[in-house]
């Protein structure tokens, strides 16, 4: 466990660069002539339900808009949260323009297809949205966090088993169950139809053609060889998405903003010894004019030798708000239940 001498060690923290990001946002808004809302996840962050509440804080401040630009950078997460995000955005704005300069994968792609138009830069890509999920009974990584399991991955194992087993008549599920709980396999099988339904519902906010919606939903869920298959601008247009090339000046500013967010999202680890460390990291950033909401981890990690796993302790992770009020920058904790 953490000793008193270690507890006095100065904890490293990632920077919160509110002034820098606000300046870049102002430049983007001037070029687009509309308000911009940013939605950014680090490689350890993901699309989740609490993001909806955090985004609501931004939208309350900037108010209802005729048009809204949405910068998305994320590796994915919970598709149902994506649907809730689109539903929330549509309460505040009838026209949404998705700005995609870099990665916009899985559940983030679901958010993007909820926009009236998708502007993509040279480095931008969407991905397939086939079913994968983190379940409370999912396998665990070295830090005792549940890992995502995809239906496609399970199905491919079963298919390979059938091709290679030959005389071995054992049930492939018997071999899988020690690694993947049967309830997890059942959950991802059930959620496949959910993924298609979510895509249909999201696109119905701005597309009236039911046949087109079904066609795009099916392609995104079933027509790609891997979950991370990059759907570039050319491919996005081919499958019928309203994708367009992004203005060079806007793309340059968004890449600059992404660099600042990446600096904020760096993992700040303070090592106490080989069995204990403290972790600070900003996982999710949501920002609008004069307001920024972040989720920041703040926790100790201890290695349990007997169980050969890491365990989190002293977890003070929380949402934080930085905003300009009456000309002053004010910081506070955002309590989301």
How would DSSP label each residue in 34-71?
Answer: SEEEEEEE-TT--B-HHHHHHHHHHHHHH---SEEEEE
Radius of gyration of the chain (CA): 22
- In this structure, what token pair is assigned to residue 20? 């820098």
What gap in Å lies between CA 156 and CA 323, rounded to an integer?
Answer: 48
For range 209-218, the mean pLDDT: 95
Does residue 167 carry a pLDDT above 60?
no
Q: pLDDT class for 171, splitting at 50, 70, 90?
A: confident
> How many of the other CB atoms lie within 10 Å of CB of 158?
14
Match 């079904």 to its residue by tokens.
Answer: 214
> How many of the other CB atoms lie within 10 Å of CB of 159?
11
Task: From residue 152, give the alpha-carbon distance in Å to each of 47, 68, 187, 227.
Answer: 20, 35, 13, 8
- Residues 305, 287 contacting (CB under 8 angstroms): no
For range 292-298, the mean pLDDT: 97
Q: Tens digits of per-residue pLDDT, 109-130?
A: 999 999 999 999 999 999 998 6
**Which has the minimum average pLDDT: 177-186, 192-201, 274-283?**
177-186
What gap in Å lies between CA 306 and CA 308, rounded to an integer?
Answer: 6
Where exactly are the structural domains of the chain?
4-132+192-334, 133-188
Would you state the pLDDT for residue 1?
52
Residue of higher predicted confidence among 170 and 111: 111
What gap in Å lies between CA 289 and CA 323, rounded to an integer?
Answer: 9
Residue of higher predicted confidence among 163 and 248: 248
Would you state the pLDDT for residue 225?
75
What gap in Å lies between CA 291 and CA 37, rounded to an integer?
Answer: 10
What is the distance of C-alpha 226 from the center of its chain?
A: 18
Q: pLDDT class for 194, splitting at 50, 70, 90?
A: confident
For range 229-254, the mean pLDDT: 97
- Residues 140, 146 contacting (CB under 8 angstroms): yes
Among 332, 329, 337, 330, which residue's Cα sits nearest to residue 320? 332
Pairing assessment for the beta strands 67-73 and 95-100 based on DSSP bridges: parallel
What is the distance of C-alpha 53 from the center of its chain?
A: 15
For range 160-187, the mean pLDDT: 69
Pseudo-torsion of CA 235, 210, 71, 285, nearest 10°?
-120
What gap in Å lies between CA 317 and CA 213, rounded to an integer?
Answer: 39
For range 249-266, the mean pLDDT: 97
Does residue 2 carry a pLDDT above 60?
no
In the chain, DSSP finds a helix count (H) and a strand count (E) of 11, 13
Match 């169950």 to its residue by tokens.
Answer: 177
Overall CATH class of domain 4-132+192-334: alpha beta
Pseudo-torsion of CA 155, 76, 102, 121, nearest 10°?
80
């Amino acid at each position: 466990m953490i000793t008193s001498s270690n507890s006095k060690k100065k904890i490293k923290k990632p920077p919160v660069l509110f002034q820098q990001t606000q300046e870049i946002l102002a430049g983007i808004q001037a070029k687009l002539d509309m308000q911009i809302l940013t939605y950014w996840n680090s490689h350890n962050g993901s699309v989740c339900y609490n993001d909806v509440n955090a985004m609501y804080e931004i939208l309350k401040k900037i108010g209802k808009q005729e048009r809204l630009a949405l910068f998305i950078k994320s590796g994915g997460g919970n598709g149902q949260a994506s649907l809730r995000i689109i539903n929330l955005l549509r309460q505040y704005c009838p026209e949404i323009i998705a700005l995609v300069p870099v990665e916009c994968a899985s559940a983030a792609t679901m958010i993007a297809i909820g926009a009236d138009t998708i502007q993509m830069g040279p480095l931008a890509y969407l991905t397939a949205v086939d079913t994968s999920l983190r379940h409370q009974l999912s396998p665990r990584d070295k830090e005792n966090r549940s890992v995502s399991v995809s239906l496609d991955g399970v199905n491919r194992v079963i298919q390979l088993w059938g091709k290679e087993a030959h005389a071995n008549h054992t049930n492939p599920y018997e071999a899988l169950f020690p690694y993947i709980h049967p309830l997890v396999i059942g959950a991802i099988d059930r959620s496949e139809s959910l993924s298609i339904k979510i895509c249909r519902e999201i696109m119905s906010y701005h597309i009236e053609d039911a046949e087109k919606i079904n066609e795009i939903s099916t392609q995104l869920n079933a027509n790609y060889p891997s979950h991370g298959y990059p759907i570039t601008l050319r491919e996005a247009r081919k499958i019928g998405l309203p994708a367009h090339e992004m203005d060079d000046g806007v793309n340059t500013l968004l890449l600059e903003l992404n660099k600042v967010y990446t600096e904020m999202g760096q993992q700040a680890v303070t090592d106490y010894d080989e069995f204990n460390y403290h972790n600070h990291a900003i996982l999710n950033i949501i920002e609008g004019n004069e307001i920024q909401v972040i989720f920041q981890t703040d926790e100790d990690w201890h290695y349990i030798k007997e169980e050969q796993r890491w365990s989190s302790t002293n977890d003070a992770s929380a949402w934080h708000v930085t905003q300009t009020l009456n000309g002053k920058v004010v910081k506070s904790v955002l309590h989301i239940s």
